[in-house]
Structure 1
Amino acid sequence: MTKLREWSASRIHYFSGKKQKPKKSKVQVHRLAWRKRSEEKAAAGKNMELKNLKLYMENMSILEENENLRKKANLLHQENLALYSEFEKKVSHLDRVSATLNVIRDGARV
């Protein structure tokens, strides 16, 4: 009787026009899952590499900009020192002229 049921079930299935998906063995399912995880890890690794490369390039750009700003700051400092020195010379010269005029004025009063 069981053979008859099996035969009837397969015959009905055959004539119904529906196709059954072939069952995958557990080994195939595990291999597919493992492959999928491996591909996901590889994709995540590539994403991480791209992010790392972008950050590295951004860091290099910042370092280059920092170096340029340091050079400009050094030039401005040198210019500031030169202007301050020039200012001190003029103030010193004005002090001497002022002192000379005071001596002349004081001599004229006496």
Structure 2
Amino acid sequence: MRTVYPLVRYRDPDAAIEWLGKAFGFEEHGVSRDEAGVVKHAELTVGTGMVMLGKGDPGGPGIYVAVDDPDAHNDRAVAAGARITMELTDQSYGSREYACEDPEGNIWYFGTYRP
């Protein structure tokens, strides 16, 4: 594994991006939007740290782990009994990734993301 990123979902990601900048000093590193202009994925940085966010129901953060081989990583997780919540997919922002739940329901994302 290379890097771990916290991931937070917001009902209104544009408002969250603005507020996180004003309140905590985060700056936009990159934003990917769908055809309707809705934020699919955003990266905010402060210093050398980064958080990811996107549209969704709040209720708990996720964890994004950058890996070199998401296909092999996915196979290992499935073999261990992980419940896949997002199939391995090539994303429009350049990452190949999947998501799964751990035994207590926490969501983990694994992919090739490189900031």
Q: TM-score, normalised by structure 2?
A: 0.13
Structure whose CA Rg is larger = 1
Larger helix proportion of the pair: 1
Greater fraction strand: 2
Higher relative contact order (CA 8 A, sep 6+): 2
TM score, norm. by length of structure 1: 0.13
